[in-house]
Amino acid sequence: MYVDHKEVGLRIKKLRNQNGVTQEQLAEQLNITTNFLYRIESGNRAASLDLLVEITVHFGVTLDYLVLGNEQPRDSLKEKVRVLIQFLIKWLEEL
């Protein structure tokens, strides 16, 4: 399987723009330089797996979406969050 770093960069840029975040802001939040983020978004540099995971957490998307462009159905994601919240509530009650 081939990862298209240019497409990954475009998805990161799209997420950043959809959330009204500048390159400078996102770079600071991810603890990287603005130049490095620019190079990732333009496809000239590949992000590490750790950085990709940070970006997915930051924007609330899946790694599958960020790397491969596969959309996860919203209902499926909502259900996973609901199950996780129920588990955490149950776990807290047992403490």
User: Does the structure show a pLDDT above 70 at 72?
Assistant: no
Distant-in-sequence, close-in-space partners of 26: CB < 8 Å, separation ≥ 6: 16, 37, 58
Look at residue 82 and tell me whether its pLDDT is greater than 90.
Answer: no
Q: What is the mean pLDDT of residues 18-29?
A: 95
What pTM was computed for the model?
0.74
64 Cβ contact partners less than 8 Å away, ≥ 6 residues apart: 70, 72
Determine the Cα–Cα distance for residues 41 and 12; give it in Å rounded to an integer.
Answer: 6
